[in-house]
Amino acid sequence: MKLLFLCNKSPYPALEGGPMAMNSMIEGMIEAGHQVKVLAVNSEKYHIQAQDIPSDYRQKTGIELIHIDLRIKVWDALMTMLAGRSYHVERFISATFKEKLIQLLHSSSYDVVQLETLFMAPYIPVIRKHSKAVIVLRAHNIEHLIWERIADQTRFFPKRWYIRHLATTLKQFELNSLRSMDGIAAITRKDAQFFRQYSSCPVIDIPFGVSPEKYLLSDSTPRYPDTIFHIGAMNWIPNEEGIRWFLENVWPLIHHRLPKLRFVLAGRFMPSWLLQQSFPKVEVVGEVPDAQEFIRDHGIAVVPLLSGSGIRIKIIEAMALAKAVITTEVGAEGIFYTSGKHLFIAHQPEEFADAVEQLIRQPETASQMGHQARLLVEEMYDHRRIIDRMLLFYKELIRKQSKLK
């Protein structure tokens, strides 16, 4: 099978949730013996030097990067607002990307073109005109839902009004685009239920997968057991929003109860306010060279998400490394968990503080929860099983398309 992946950012290096999800699927398809071609957006937000991508990866994926300027421009934002179009989507429309896509579609006959995120949907007319391939949307999130939730958490009225406008136009584009797909692969069951309401095409839920054997467990206690930690890119608004809420509302309670406990924050694009924070026993380390090593070295994972959609890949990684995790229902969306067994769900500051205190004071409870989390990942999130399901989905879509001809 010949597969073309259109990606809203480079899948390599896999430093954030989106690229990790893309790369897992791409490498899984290659391991399964299929031909893969990758065409990806390169931007200031996630900029990759082509020469920094290893030659073996370039060879097996045929990856090509097309630069698109995704920086926010006030005039363009105003014009799209007046026109009632989605500024989120408009920024991804590029004549250069379109030309390269046409060239690829003419040079090879693909069985499937997979759109990695909704933001590649503007190119559907180009694909339809120049290819007979099945078009599959790999929906990492319900995109407009993220912005609706962000608006709900925004207090400043003018900003809240504009974010609601962005969410509304994005929703209109998202719902219209669903009718143009041949198939939709949602990342969670909950997301899949939503897509089935608004699309007549087949929909499947395909979670993020990992290779459990690549997540090596430590035989000893963590290097820094008296810590809680968070790891995630801070240029994703829900991450920054959640950490700000946690520091202002939850951390003072925890620090009062456990004054020796440290909170360590890792990830790319730390905002200036966080780098300059003065909360007691809070350490901001920024980007780390080895995410797995960082997770293994520290104690309890906290993921205080208040908005967002899809599945939190860093939670799956922490669970794969047998870490106890405390998060919200939003953070745990898409994970087949039992609260109190595989992870803890908390909403209010007191609930977060209670969960942290219990796991720190009862390390055996944290260890047992981490063990159950690892077993869950092995059972439900092994990427080989996920790739097999995706391939069956492709074949069914191709079979359905051939019947219609």
Strands lying side by side in the sheet with 2-7: 64-67, 35-42, 2-7, 112-116, 134-139, 183-186, 203-205
Average pLDDT of span 27-55: 94
Return the higher-pLDDT residue of 133 and 190.
133
Residue with tokens 């994005």: 170
- Contact (Cβ atoms closer than 8 angstroms) between residue 217 and residue 210: no
Average pLDDT of span 264-276: 94
Whether the link from the prior residue into 13 is cis, omega within 30° of 0, is yes
Non-local (6+) Cβ contacts of 28 within 8 A are 209, 383, 384, 386, 387, 390
pLDDT of residue 7: 98
- Say yes or no: do domains 2-209+382-404 and 212-380 share a fold: yes
Average pLDDT of span 281-307: 94
- Answer whether residue 310 shows pLDDT above 70: no
Average pLDDT of span 153-182: 93
- Answer whether residue 253 shows pLDDT above 90: yes
- Contact (Cβ atoms closer than 8 angstroms) between residue 49 and residue 74: no
Amino acid at 318: A
**Residue 185, both tokens:** 């692969």
Q: Where are the domains of the chain?
A: 2-209+382-404, 212-380
Strands lying side by side in the sheet with 262-266: 282-286, 262-266, 224-231, 298-303, 325-327, 344-345
Q: Name which of 55, 185, 59, 206 is nearest 113 in CA terms.
A: 185
Give φ, ψ of 382 to 5 degrees.
Answer: -65, 120
Question: Could you give the percent of the chain with pLDDT greater than 90?
Answer: 76
- Answer whether residue 237 shows pLDDT above 90: no
Average pLDDT of span 59-82: 93
DSSP 249: I
- Answer whether residue 244 shows pLDDT above 80: yes
- Answer whether residue 309 shows pLDDT above 80: no
pLDDT of residue 334: 78
pLDDT of residue 215: 92
3-state secondary structure of 335: coil
Average pLDDT of span 44-56: 90
- Contact (Cβ atoms closer than 8 angstroms) between residue 371 and residue 322: yes
CA–CA distance, 265 with 231 (Å, rounded to integer): 6
- Answer whether residue 273 shows pLDDT above 70: yes
Average pLDDT of span 302-323: 87
pLDDT, one tens digit per residue, over 324-375 is: 999 999 888 878 899 999 999 998 999 999 999 999 999 999 999 999 999 9
Q: Which of 49-58, 165-174, 308-317 has the lowest mean pLDDT?
A: 308-317
- Answer whether residue 238 shows pLDDT above 90: no
- Answer whether residue 16 shows pLDDT above 90: no
Average pLDDT of span 106-125: 97
pLDDT of residue 292: 93
Non-local (6+) Cβ contacts of 73 within 8 A are none
Average pLDDT of span 289-294: 94
Which CATH class for the 2-209+382-404 domain? alpha beta
CA–CA distance, 356 with 17 (Å, rounded to integer): 25
pLDDT of residue 39: 98
Non-local (6+) Cβ contacts of 227 within 8 A are 261, 262, 263, 264, 298, 299, 300
pLDDT band for position 68 (50/70/90)? Answer: very high
CA angle (399 as vertex; 394, 400 as ends), nearest 5: 100
Return the higher-pLDDT residue of 235 and 60.
60
CA–CA distance, 29 with 36 (Å, rounded to integer): 7
pLDDT band for position 308 (50/70/90)? Answer: low
Average pLDDT of span 75-96: 94
pLDDT of residue 83: 92
Q: The domain at 212-380 falls in which architecture?
A: 3-Layer(aba) Sandwich (3.40)
pLDDT of residue 11: 96
CA–CA distance, 403 with 405 (Å, rounded to integer): 6
Q: What mean pLDDT, rounded, does the chain reach?
A: 93
- Answer whether residue 225 shows pLDDT above 80: yes
